[in-house]
Amino acid sequence: MSEIELHRKLLGDHARNAAFHRALQQRITPGRTKVLDIGGGTGFLSFLARKLGAADVTMIEYSDALELAEELARRNRIDGLSFVRAHSIEWRRKLNVDLVVTETLGNYALEENFLETAIDARRFLKADGHIIPGRLRQYVAPVLRSRLQSEIDIWPDVGYELDLTPARTISLNNMYVRDIVPDDVGAAPQLAQCWDDLDVRPGRRVPDSHRRSTTTWTAEALPGARVDGFALWWEAELIEGVSISTSPYDAPTHWQQIYLPLLQPHTLQHGDQLELSLSSDTRPEVGVRVGWKTRQLRGGKVVGAQSLDSLRGQL
């Protein structure tokens, strides 16, 4: 995807734009608030901050979009902006701002280093400063229809008497960006579980970049009792009372959901439990690595288990 196409999708997301505008409006005191915009792209959030009265805004962007942001600022006669070409984590200048805003969220919430960026950004803040978003919750739900798996798992149907099992294994050890709808996850919001709750606000404990969680469902809770994979989505709390969600139960945004496939479906019987262990490692030396392991339990005994890892999906 080209750089401008990415920004076209971002700026075309009216729900995203409106939510950030509301959050900035509530955090900016005209003439007083100093703002740092990390990963500012074309400058949209920086422009909003200045139009809302921010005393000054520093925008950090490492890509060529920075030049476009400068041109757009001139064209719209928006002053009071400082433009910095850098990765914020590598930029060592000291600042003392009231507010940091960073929209570095991906389809998989942490794929654009939101966690590491937000934690590092605390060093730029005043003692009573704020960060937007301040909190991020990640959700998971079993996928109970075969639609998504059928789209991805084409390997057994290639034919010509070829055994493509090794290629299939690599392929399924991957996260897939997909439009997931309520029917895919049982049309039952209560099946979703929050598997990760990140609080990056100043003064809170620093979250670990290597994150793990285990969730469990019973066969009685799962309509149809056949699980083909898992769906991931997130909710970002910009400030208290203003959030953005990529849930399939909420209005669509430019973000999509994540599908985690399985090597074979889990078919549950009465009394069974399905256990999912998720891990997410976004340390700089790792990049983005997600693992998902399942165990099907019957009478306390394991009757089925699988282990997939996005690292094994790299070819």
pLDDT (0 to 100) of residue 1: 64
Same domain, 48 and 188: no
Closest CA to 41 of 96, 82, 3: 3
Instruction: State mean pLDDT over 259-280.
Output: 97
Q: Is 80 a member of any domain?
A: yes
Asked whether residue 315 carries a pLDDT value surpassing 80, the answer given is: no
pLDDT (0 to 100) of residue 2: 82
pLDDT (0 to 100) of residue 223: 80
Q: What is the CATH number of the domain that holds 61?
A: 3.40.50.150
**Number of domains forming the structure of the chain:** 2
User: What is the dihedral sign for C-alpha 115, 196, 254, 175?
Assistant: positive
Same domain, 154 and 82: no
Q: Is 111 a member of any domain?
A: no
Provide the whole-model pTM: 0.96
Q: Is 110 a member of any domain?
A: no
Instruction: State mean pLDDT over 36-64.
Output: 97
Same domain, 171 and 94: no
Residue 44's pLDDT band (cuts 50, 70, 90): very high
Q: Is 127 a member of any domain?
A: no
Instruction: State mean pLDDT over 156-184.
Output: 98
At 205-240, the pLDDT tens digits run 999 999 999 999 999 999 878 999 999 999 999 999
| Rounded Cα–Cα distance for residues 169 and 153 (Å) | 10
At 169-178, the pLDDT tens digits run 999 999 999 9
Same domain, 149 and 56: no
Instruction: State mean pLDDT over 258-286.
Output: 97
| Rounded Cα–Cα distance for residues 132 and 38 (Å) | 10
The range of the structural domain enclosing residue 197 comes to 136-309
Q: Is 287 a member of any domain?
A: yes
Same domain, 151 and 78: no
Q: What is the CATH number of the domain that holds 142?
A: 2.70.160.11
pLDDT (0 to 100) of residue 224: 79
